[in-house]
Amino acid sequence: MRLTTFTDYGLRMLMRMASAPGRAFSTAELAEEFGLSRNHLAKIMQHLARAGLIVTRRGGGGGAALARPANEIMLGAVIRLLEEGQPLVECLGTGSGACVLDGRCRLKARLRAAEAAFLAHLDRSTLADIALDPSPQF
């Protein structure tokens, strides 16, 4: 299974925010730190804010911070949010059209079960479990 870059970058942002609770991070700061596009990170930040995972403030001293403690944010929920609309395979998506193997395919149920197991495993971990270690570079 491969996660989208949207999810990868979103997780990086959240891991960084979890390393310094209460501190606000600007999109520009995170983009520079990770060597990523500021515009792309801004879209991800908006998505996380709409979902209530982060809060954002404009102006001097503004930026984004976690909306609640990292130990209350389950990784499975984050992955579901960021991967929303990205099925594991096309036939598992909604409105994906007719499958030429429909009625004969024995793979689809196994893929659904594997995806459910993957997310269930992540439901047992929190953002606090993967927070970046504070280091002098931060």
Q: Across the chain, what does the average pLDDT equal?
A: 88
Say if CB 9 and CB 41 are below 8 A apart: yes
The amino acid at 130: I
Per-domain boundaries in the chain: 5-130
Q: What is the pTM of this model?
A: 0.85
Q: What confidence score (pLDDT) does residue 93 get?
A: 67
Name the CATH code of domain 5-130 (choices 3.60.150.10, 3.40.190.10, 1.10.10.10, 2.10.109.10): 1.10.10.10
List all residues 6 or more positions away from 103 whose beta carbon is below 8 Å from its beta carbon.
none
Q: What confidence score (pLDDT) does residue 138 get?
A: 47
Q: What confidence score (pLDDT) does residue 72 get?
A: 97
Low-confidence stretches of the chain (pLDDT < 50) are: 138
